[in-house]
Chain A
Amino acid sequence: MTTQVEAHSGYKYKSDSNRLGLWLFIISDAFVFGGLLVSRFYLFAGERPELNQWLGVIVTFVLLTSSFFMYRADTDISYGNVKGFTRNILVTLILGILFLIGVVGLEWPTAPFSAGENAMSSIFFTMTGMHALHVLSGVIFLYIVYRNGKKGLYSKERHFPVEAAAIYWHFVDVVWVFFYPALYLMGNPV
């Protein structure tokens, strides 16, 4: 194992620890979403709520596209391109907000049921709500990174917060890849 004396300080060492901590957080968080998915199928194996299919496709498209721009922002900063980074992260941020408007602002009020109606509506609102909460925290995270990036705090060598925001954003995106079919596509609508 590690026989050489490591300096337990310095940007790289700390970033490596932070990265591990971030991944552990994501593993932990995945259990919440896993639990929600299991609950959804435990309660209703062959059924799904009646939802606006077009809206579902559009918000999914918006969120997946945002991940593409997040990737570009991350790549830009690792090449030291601060300008490209700020531009791309702004696009990601806007797409994230559009997703939130689509789900919380449009899908929730127009759904043909309310949160307290039955178990299926409960699981729908809890799953989308929990995911939206994560998107919202991701948007806040992106804004912080955007603002600090504009101040010129990130460089080719020192940009772990950007990487962390990217990992988190992709994670939230991947969760939706599972949630979208579970809520919009699988089972017969009731």
Chain B
Amino acid sequence: MRFYKLSLFRGLGFMLVGTFIGVVITILIRLLIGLPAWNAEPILVVGALFGAIAFMFGTRVMDDWFKWARGIDTPEPAEDSEAEGWKRFIHVSFDHKVIGIQYGLTSILILSVAGLFAMIFRTELAQPGLQFLTPDGFNTLISLHGIVNIGGILLGVAAMANYLVPLMIGANDMAFPRLNAFAYWINIPAIVMLLSTILLGGVDAGWTGYPPLSENLAKIGFSMFFLGVYLIGLSSILGGLNLITTIIRMRAPGMSYFRMPIFVWSTLATMIISLTATQLIGLSFQMVLFDRVFGMDFFNPNQGGNVLLFQNLFWFYSHPAVYVFVLPGLGIISELLPVFSRKPLFGYRWVALSSMAIALVGFFVWAHHMFTSGMADFLRVPFTYSTLLVAVPTGIKFFSWTGTIWRGKLSFQTPMLYVLGAISIFLLGGLSGPPNATVATDLHIHDTYFIVGHFHATMFGGYLFPFVAAAYFWFPLITGRMYSERWGKIGFWLMLIGFYFQSLFQMQTGLLGMRRRIADYDPALGVDFQQLVVSIAGFVVGLGLLVFITNILVSAKRGQVAEQNPWRSRSPEWYIPTPVWGHNYEKPFEVVGEPYDYGLEGSDYTSLGGVADTPADSAVPEPAAAD
């Protein structure tokens, strides 16, 4: 297939043309209604919007929809991609597994970009004084580090959910395959817009983009920032809609809600948040965009606007969003622990419902981000309590994990190491949470490095470590090959040790009084050493991630051919030939037992068969060294 026919390149070409057409049309309209022809910001915003739409035309994901609108029926989308080999990942495909990998690769790519941003400003922060960054440049980098990481995490969540959920519930694809492809491809123009902000003046207002700063700074980058996040949000909403429908409608016979794998439960909870709350960050960003482009006054106090409105709308999504980031990861932990402990998951029903409880409580905690914003004092107390309430269902999960590994027959392959690392780091993140939720302590640590340490711990423990664990765990299923166990372990220890140093020293820096989002610090503050350690530790974490990325890329090509079901899992996706492309299950299977009854003789989860654990060989066998 010629490269210009591949969706990615075709889309980008269309995007360029579309942007140009949008710019011309805007200029014509401006002339028509008597405005001066050139005003860069509104013209580029409309141009970018046209570009995004043109991109979607170019990728051809919408072709079938237009046919339906004209009354032409189309067959189910072909299960095999038109492109071969690696090209299938940059070409449109309606197979949920290809889309899952597309999401995963894009996620790893842009997380790496965001990580590079961090390395640049961590180098700057390694010693006091301004070395090579301007304050504006520094702020742009931290803002982009935040928002690009958030985009990358949302893509990673979608990657896991897309690849795993249909396989786990015994479906052959998602409920709406075309919508699924649409939801993936809309991210590409969004990422282009987000990264274009560097060239358009930067976004030096933090990833939250609070007005009035984000409204009054005359930098076009802000408009692109809001538009880019808006499109990523659209992807998130459509993905949520698709996954909820898939989970409700397409489960295998016999799979009642309480026989679903835990990961499916946590995805369901996650997607309920994605589906609903995301609209409000979209709305708040849209309002700032209108303020900037149309001169509206939502957040202009001189004309009756109110900046706190933005914060309320913004955090109504952005707090639950952290549960979108961590719930799938916590689901992965609950999913893998029984496999590597050869024991049933402790308290299955409680774990399943705890995800739902976290999602629900998450809707009532947003104002804890605003304790110092000047909101009504009496509202602080209820928000303190609602926030602390989140600890209860999270505690249930920890209790279950402890109960699951208790007297289990543990084995320590790379995925298990990452899972255990995730638990320990998430515990650090979790325990550093209540001081932020409690007004009395939050007033002191608000906007300091303590917060930075806290949320990096939740993101690493709740998302990054479980994501890497999942990537290694399902690697044999995805590629049919085995990753390098030795390099996997080296990467793990680099990441774990690096991360602990980074996070703990960030927290200490914060307690010593260093504020976040500042390019420089006074040596008199006494945090020179800590800042240096954080920088070095950050680079070590980056190295660990590089080992992970290299490992999966090299092993996908050269790794040893994996045996069937190397982890002796009970989950149905391991009972079909690997690697899986196209059709998932030749014939439908039936669910006949509980999902996690490891070690119980004669128990099966599905009619595809199961693994009988006899006491003699109960632990997962060490895979042969594949170095």
CB within 8 Å of B: which residues of A? 1-6, 8, 16-17, 20-21, 24-25, 27-29, 31-32, 35-36, 39, 42-44, 115-123, 125-126, 144, 147-148, 151, 153
CB-defined contacts of B249 to chain A, threshold 8 Å: 16-17, 20
CB-defined contacts of A16 to chain B, threshold 8 Å: 249
Q: Is A21 touching B175 in the complex (CB atoms < 8 A)?
A: yes
Q: Is A24 touching B171 in the complex (CB atoms < 8 A)?
A: no
Q: Is A119 touching B297 in the complex (CB atoms < 8 A)?
A: yes
Indicate whether B577 reaches chain A with its CB closer than 8 angstroms: no
Expressed in whole angstroms, the minimum distance between the Cβ of A100 and any Cβ of chain B is 19
Q: Is B296 touching A116 in the complex (CB atoms < 8 A)?
A: yes
Q: Is A1 touching B257 in the complex (CB atoms < 8 A)?
A: yes
| Complex Cα gap A139–B237 (Å) | 23
| Complex Cα gap A76–B291 (Å) | 46
- Contact partner of B254 among A3, A144, A148, CB < 8 A? A3
CB-defined contacts of B590 to chain A, threshold 8 Å: 5
Q: Is A28 touching B309 in the complex (CB atoms < 8 A)?
A: no
CB-defined contacts of B245 to chain A, threshold 8 Å: 17, 20-21, 24
Q: Is B296 touching A126 in the complex (CB atoms < 8 A)?
A: yes
Secondary structure class of chain B's binding surface, majority of residues: helix
Expressed in whole angstroms, the minimum distance between the Cβ of B17 and any Cβ of chain A is 24
Residues of B163-212 at the interface with A, using a CB-CB cut-off of 8 Å, are 171-172, 175-176, 179
CB-defined contacts of B283 to chain A, threshold 8 Å: 32, 35-36, 39
Indicate whether B300 reaches chain A with its CB closer than 8 angstroms: yes
| Complex Cα gap A35–B312 (Å) | 10
5 tightest A-B CB contacts, nearest first: A116-B295, A122-B296, A119-B304, A31-B279, A118-B303
Indicate whether B275 reaches chain A with its CB closer than 8 angstroms: yes
CB-defined contacts of B287 to chain A, threshold 8 Å: 39, 122, 126
Q: Is B305 touching A43 in the complex (CB atoms < 8 A)?
A: yes
Q: Is A8 touching B171 in the complex (CB atoms < 8 A)?
A: yes
CB-defined contacts of A44 to chain B, threshold 8 Å: 304
Expressed in whole angstroms, the minimum distance between the Cβ of B524 and any Cβ of chain A is 43
Q: Flag B253-280 by CB within 8 Å of A: 1 or 0 each.
A: 1111100000000000000000111111
Q: Is B275 touching A28 in the complex (CB atoms < 8 A)?
A: yes
CB-defined contacts of A123 to chain B, threshold 8 Å: 298
Q: Is B277 touching A148 in the complex (CB atoms < 8 A)?
A: no
| Complex Cα gap A126–B279 (Å) | 15
Q: Is A35 touching B303 in the complex (CB atoms < 8 A)?
A: no
Expressed in whole angstroms, the minimum distance between the Cβ of A48 and any Cβ of chain B is 13
CB-defined contacts of A117 to chain B, threshold 8 Å: 297, 303
Q: Is B253 touching A5 in the complex (CB atoms < 8 A)?
A: yes
Q: Is B296 touching A42 in the complex (CB atoms < 8 A)?
A: no
Expressed in whole angstroms, the minimum distance between the Cβ of A20 and any Cβ of chain B is 5
Expressed in whole angstroms, the minimum distance between the Cβ of A137 and any Cβ of chain B is 12
Identify 7 residue pairs between A and B in the complex whose beta-carbon atoms are under 8 Å apart, listed by A's number. Answer: A4-B253, A20-B245, A24-B240, A28-B241, A116-B297, A118-B304, A151-B71
Known: A35-B313, A39-B309. A119 touches B241 (CB 8 A): no
Expressed in whole angstroms, the minimum distance between the Cβ of B409 and any Cβ of chain A is 33
CB-defined contacts of B253 to chain A, threshold 8 Å: 2-6
Q: Is B309 touching A42 in the complex (CB atoms < 8 A)?
A: yes
Q: Is B298 touching A125 in the complex (CB atoms < 8 A)?
A: no
Indicate whether B129 reaches chain A with its CB closer than 8 angstroms: no
Q: Is A31 touching B277 in the complex (CB atoms < 8 A)?
A: yes
CB-defined contacts of B242 to chain A, threshold 8 Å: 21
Indicate whether B497 reaches chain A with its CB closer than 8 angstroms: no
Indicate whether B588 reaches chain A with its CB closer than 8 angstroms: yes
Expressed in whole angstroms, the minimum distance between the Cβ of B182 and any Cβ of chain A is 13
Interface centre among B176, B283, B312 (most CB of A within 10 A): B283
* CB-nearest residue of chain B to A16: B249
Q: Is A126 touching B304 in the complex (CB atoms < 8 A)?
A: no
| Complex Cα gap A166–B123 (Å) | 58
Known: A1-B255, A24-B244, A115-B294. A17 touches B280 (CB 8 A): no
Q: Is B241 touching A43 in the complex (CB atoms < 8 A)?
A: no
Indicate whether B576 reaches chain A with its CB closer than 8 angstroms: no
CB within 8 Å of A: which residues of B? 69, 71, 171-172, 175-176, 179, 237, 240-242, 244-245, 248-251, 253-257, 275-280, 282-284, 287, 290-291, 294-298, 300, 303-306, 309, 312-313, 316, 588, 590
CB-defined contacts of A3 to chain B, threshold 8 Å: 253-254
Q: A4-B253, A17-B249, A35-B280 are in contact. List 4 more A-B contacts (CB 8 A).
A: A3-B254, A5-B588, A29-B279, A126-B296
Q: Is B276 touching A28 in the complex (CB atoms < 8 A)?
A: yes
* CB-nearest residue of chain A to B69: A144
Interface centre among B237, B304, B309 (most CB of A within 10 A): B304
CB-defined contacts of B588 to chain A, threshold 8 Å: 5
CB-defined contacts of B254 to chain A, threshold 8 Å: 1-3
Interface centre among A4, A35, A115, A153 (most CB of B within 10 A): A35
* CB-nearest residue of chain B to A25: B241
| Complex Cα gap A16–B305 (Å) | 44
- Contact partner of A1 among B240, B256, B284, B316, CB < 8 A? B256
Q: Is A32 touching B282 in the complex (CB atoms < 8 A)?
A: yes
- Contact partner of A119 among B71, B280, B300, CB < 8 A? B300
| Complex Cα gap A1–B591 (Å) | 11
* CB-nearest residue of chain B to A36: B283
Q: Is B312 touching A42 in the complex (CB atoms < 8 A)?
A: yes
Interface centre among A16, A28, A147 (most CB of B within 10 A): A28
Q: Is B304 touching A17 in the complex (CB atoms < 8 A)?
A: no
| Complex Cα gap A36–B313 (Å) | 10
CB-defined contacts of B279 to chain A, threshold 8 Å: 28-29, 31-32, 35
| Complex Cα gap A153–B72 (Å) | 10
CB-defined contacts of A24 to chain B, threshold 8 Å: 240-241, 244-245, 275
Known: A39-B309, A116-B294. A20 touches B71 (CB 8 A): no
Known: A17-B249, A21-B245. A39 touches B297 (CB 8 A): no
Q: Is A122 touching B71 in the complex (CB atoms < 8 A)?
A: no
CB-defined contacts of B248 to chain A, threshold 8 Å: 20
CB-defined contacts of A118 to chain B, threshold 8 Å: 297, 303-305
CB-defined contacts of A8 to chain B, threshold 8 Å: 171-172, 250
| Complex Cα gap A24–B244 (Å) | 8
| Complex Cα gap A126–B290 (Å) | 9
| Complex Cα gap A118–B313 (Å) | 20
Expressed in whole angstroms, the minimum distance between the Cβ of B237 and any Cβ of chain A is 6
* CB-nearest residue of chain A to B286: A126
| Complex Cα gap A22–B35 (Å) | 41
Expressed in whole angstroms, the minimum distance between the Cβ of A39 and any Cβ of chain B is 6
| Complex Cα gap A27–B237 (Å) | 11
Q: Is B298 touching A119 in the complex (CB atoms < 8 A)?
A: yes
| Complex Cα gap A27–B255 (Å) | 26
* CB-nearest residue of chain A to B305: A119
Q: Is B175 touching A17 in the complex (CB atoms < 8 A)?
A: yes
* CB-nearest residue of chain A to B175: A17
Q: Is B304 touching A115 in the complex (CB atoms < 8 A)?
A: no
CB-defined contacts of A121 to chain B, threshold 8 Å: 296-297
* CB-nearest residue of chain B to A190: B304
| Complex Cα gap A77–B245 (Å) | 26
CB-defined contacts of B282 to chain A, threshold 8 Å: 32
| Complex Cα gap A28–B590 (Å) | 33
